[in-house]
Amino acid sequence: MSAILYKLKTGCQWRELPTKECFGDRRISWQGVYHHFRRWATDGSLRKAWTALLKSQRRLLNLSCVQLDGSQTICKNGGECIGYQARKAAKSCNSLFLADRKGLLLACSQPVSGAHHDLFEIERVFKELCGLLQEAGIETEGLFLNADAGFDSEGFRGLCSEMSIEANIAFNPRNGRADGEYVYFDEELFKCRVVIEHANAWLDSFKALLIRFETKAQHWQALHWLAFCVMFIRKINKKLKH
């Protein structure tokens, strides 16, 4: 696990892991480290580690509102769920993230091709995010959800209503609004959304997440579960010190 965390933090290639420094005289190769990572990513162990940590420490969360945002990542090695993104002039993938009011990241979706926007397969992706929260014992019914104008669609608003989630989504002027039509929007509450921008910036400190080299989508997501664990444990340690 120490070697995997080294990979996560530094972004080095698997074959460049300092196995001698990590394991001393024990003969464990980088292939052995990758074998364990691949197994734990595939069988869901790393996801379970995150949901168990989240469940046991959910009293530290501030769920007065949650923030939704998408993040594009440039991909260098090709692989699953990757496509050309004109805005970045590169191949990329896109994942959606949920964070609490303090900016603690809660969930991330499996990536989709960077050629697609944030609303691509939104019903499946959003239910995937909410499903993880429910696994961690967090009720989604009654949540206030902040999202930027990229998520302003009748379909997504209807989905939130169906799931009893209050959608506080910025208006997209390209969509237009019928005269006299009322759509809920709280500007003060929406200001909380900035915390997820900060959280995504904190993720950049894990160099393995800054640029995607993993070809398997499941492996890419598993690295995020590990990063979430590290960030949350830091929060717990700060809480204990105070």
Write the DSSP assignment of 74-121 as a string of letters: EBSS--TT-EEETTTTEEEEEEEEEE-TT--EEEEPPPEETTS-TTTT
Q: Residue 180's domain spans which residues?
A: 61-215
Angle among Cα 18, 21, 25 to the nearest 5 degrees reads 115
Two tokens, residue 111: 């990536």
- Residues with Cβ within 8 Å of 179's Cβ and at least 6 positions away in sequence, in order, are none
37 occurs within a structural domain: no
Residue 236: pLDDT band with limits 50, 70, 90? confident
Q: Is the pLDDT at 242 greater than 70, yes or no?
A: no
- Least confident interval from 5-14, 63-72, 135-144, 182-191: 182-191
Q: Which of 90, 97, 54, 86 is nearest to 73 (CA)?
A: 90
147 occurs within a structural domain: yes
User: What pLDDT digit, counting tens, does each position of 65-92 carry?
Assistant: 999 999 999 999 989 999 999 888 999 9
220 occurs within a structural domain: no
HSE value, Cβ hemisphere, 13 Å, CA-based, for 119: 13
Two tokens, residue 62: 């501030």
| Residue with tokens 């394991």, as numbered in its chain | 23
41 occurs within a structural domain: no
30 occurs within a structural domain: no
Two tokens, residue 43: 């069988």
241 occurs within a structural domain: no
Could you tell me which residues are beta bridge partners of residue 96?
70
The total domain count for the chain is 1
Could you tell me which residues are beta bridge partners of residue 105?
99
Q: Is the pLDDT at 24 greater than 80, yes or no?
A: no
**Contact (CB, 8 A) for 199 and 103:** yes
User: What pLDDT digit, counting tens, does each position of 201-228 carry?
Assistant: 999 999 999 999 999 999 999 999 999 9
Two tokens, residue 162: 């169906």
Residue 180: pLDDT band with limits 50, 70, 90? low
107 occurs within a structural domain: yes
Task: Output the domain CATH number for residue 183.
Answer: 3.30.420
17 occurs within a structural domain: no
- Read off the pTM: 0.92
- Residues with Cβ within 8 Å of 217's Cβ and at least 6 positions away in sequence, in order, are 79, 80, 81, 93, 110, 111
Q: How far apart are the first and last CA of the chain?
A: 28
Two tokens, residue 239: 């809480």
